A and B are shown apart, each in its own frame.
Chain A
Amino acid sequence: GDSVTQMEGPVTLSEEAFLTINCTYTATGYPSLFWYVQYPGEGLQLLLKATKADDKGSNKGFEATYRKETTSFHLEKGSVQVSDSAVYFCALPGGTSYGKLTFGQGTILTVHP
């Protein structure tokens, strides 16, 4: 079935460092791909998405490019801030239930001043 694999964390960076969180997927066809972020004590919120191959999603300085050749959707940010400390989830639709998202296990990011 459809699935997503994220790099294992946690990831600890200094402020202004470059961030990459790897995400690869297994799916039939070319599904939409999502990155969600969960700040401490809060629910998940959409960070960015790409709905077709070669699309680039971007938001708040984060970017991810939908690469069908490598079945990847890696999240990047050129200069992280302390406020980016959160858990990041890669996700794709499908699995056994129509309409839902299947999530990766999440990557904890901690950014130090």
Chain B
Amino acid sequence: NAGVTQTPKFRILKIGQSMTLQCTQDMNHNYMYWYRQDPGMGLKLIYYSVGAGITDKGEVPNGYNVSRSTTEDFPLRLELAAPSQTSVYFCASSYQGAEAGNTIYFGEGSWLTVV
């Protein structure tokens, strides 16, 4: 009963390095999301996708890229890491959008520190 799986769980990056956070879901959900959570703050949407081949920017997309080549996978790419990207990243998915009352399912999070 995997749900939404993110890797890695923890990572330390040096300024200017790049990395990819992996996300996969086994619920055949159409919608997938990447959020970041900064200390004491709510979640901010980075990117989202409503289906394979379709992605769009959220509230805070700068410094990130995504792709959605399959229904299951939605990797998040960090280019030229900066200290401002130190955060906890959550991948999530839902069958349809939250407007229809659909539940959004979250992964366990990836803790990223940029030094």
Chain A residues in contact with chain B, CB under 8 A? 31-32, 34, 41-46, 49, 51, 89, 91-101, 103-106
Contact = CB atoms under 8 A, between A and B. Distances in A.
A105 B42 contact: yes
18 contacts: A31-B99, A41-B108, A43-B4, A43-B90, A43-B92, A44-B90, A46-B104, A93-B97, A95-B45, A97-B48, A98-B50, A99-B33, A99-B98, A100-B48, A100-B97, A103-B42, A105-B41, A106-B42
A95 B59 contact: yes
A8 B94 CA distance: 29
A51 B102 CA distance: 9
A32 B99 contact: yes
Q: Is the interface of A mostly helix, strand, loop or mixed?
A: loop
A100 B106 CA distance: 12
Contacts of A46: 103-105
A93 B43 CA distance: 13
A45 B41 contact: no
B106 A45 contact: yes
A64 to B, nearest CB: 14
Most chain A CB within a 10 A radius of its CB, from B41, B92, B104, B106: B104
Contacts of A34: 98
Contacts of B57: 97
B36 to A, nearest CB: 11
Given A51-B101, A99-B31, 19 more contacts: A41-B108, A42-B108, A43-B106, A44-B43, A44-B92, A45-B105, A49-B103, A93-B97, A93-B98, A93-B99, A95-B45, A95-B59, A98-B97, A99-B48, A99-B50, A99-B96, A100-B45, A104-B42, A106-B40
